Chains A and B, each alone.
Chain A
């Protein structure tokens, strides 16, 4: 069975940092792009960042560009999201998800399945 398990969420003050992890099992991790997506309280789904299978190509939503960094360790089947300069509007449940599409040379067919259960990030003073 494919499993994605996020960790690393919590309460952080505005301006602070967190590092999320997503441990994956059940498929050949290095062959697939991965993404982070989030849902803020009472809001809809939002894509945050994506990365190619080998980690060479990354994409970011404008709302997090310059503050968040996505990376992966294919030897450990783990995806990461380093979040710096956190703001109140970053408060959300963050999910990692397997990307069925391609990222290189251009994104195409990028539907996400499955998603992890999510980890809650709360940014508040």
Chain B
């Protein structure tokens, strides 16, 4: 099975900052990758699919890139509502593994 890793595990940032989260797959997954945002008490929210396609309704300050084994989620101009945990997920086989998550908190 494909394994997913993420770095960093946590990051402290301020409103207005640019935050970059990296996700790595243990084997080539082409662009079969999704990113989710998860806040306590809420269901996870799909942000990006197919590595770089923004889900409808997601602000354009979120962007995704990468293919193969290395992927990046970038949040530009961080907003107060963006403090959350972010997960990547491989999406071309079952079981579809998630990365361990990256918590973005307030500096």
Chains A and B are bound partners: yes
Given A108-B32, A113-B55: A47 and B46 interface contact (C-beta under 8 Å): no
Q: Across the interface, do B38 and A45 meet the contact criterion of CB distance under 8 Å?
A: yes
Interface size counted on chain B using CB atoms at 8 A: 25
Residues 71 to 107 of chain B near chain A (Cβ within 8 Å): 87, 89, 91-101
Q: How many angstroms from the CA of A108 to the CA of B34 in the assembled complex? A: 12
Q: How many angstroms from the CA of A6 to the CA of B57 in the assembled complex? A: 24
Q: Across the interface, do A107 and B92 meet the contact criterion of CB distance under 8 Å?
A: yes
Q: Across the interface, do A111 and B94 meet the contact criterion of CB distance under 8 Å?
A: no
Q: Across the interface, do A111 and B95 meet the contact criterion of CB distance under 8 Å?
A: no
Partner of A45, one of B49, B55, B93, B98: B98
Residues 111 to 125 of chain A near chain B (Cβ within 8 Å): 111-118
Say how far B39's CB is from chain A's closest CB, in angstroms: 12
Q: Across the interface, do B43 and A115 meet the contact criterion of CB distance under 8 Å?
A: yes
* A100 contact set on B, CB distance < 8 A: 49
Nearest-CB residue, chain A, relative to B44: A115
* B92 contact set on A, CB distance < 8 A: 107-110
* B46 contact set on A, CB distance < 8 A: 111-114
* A117 contact set on B, CB distance < 8 A: 42-43
Interface size counted on chain A using CB atoms at 8 A: 25
Interface centre among B45, B87, B91 (most CB of A within 10 A): B91
Say how far B19's CB is from chain A's closest CB, in angstroms: 19
Judged by a CB distance under 8 angstroms, whether A26 is at the interface is: no
Q: How many angstroms from the CA of A44 to the CA of B103 in the assembled complex? A: 11
Nearest-CB residue, chain B, relative to A96: B43
Q: Across the interface, do A62 and B95 meet the contact criterion of CB distance under 8 Å?
A: yes
Judged by a CB distance under 8 angstroms, whether A32 is at the interface is: no
Given A95-B44, A115-B44: A110 and B98 interface contact (C-beta under 8 Å): no
- Which residues of A are interface residues toward B (Cβ below 8 A)? 44-47, 50, 59, 61-62, 95, 100-101, 103, 106-118
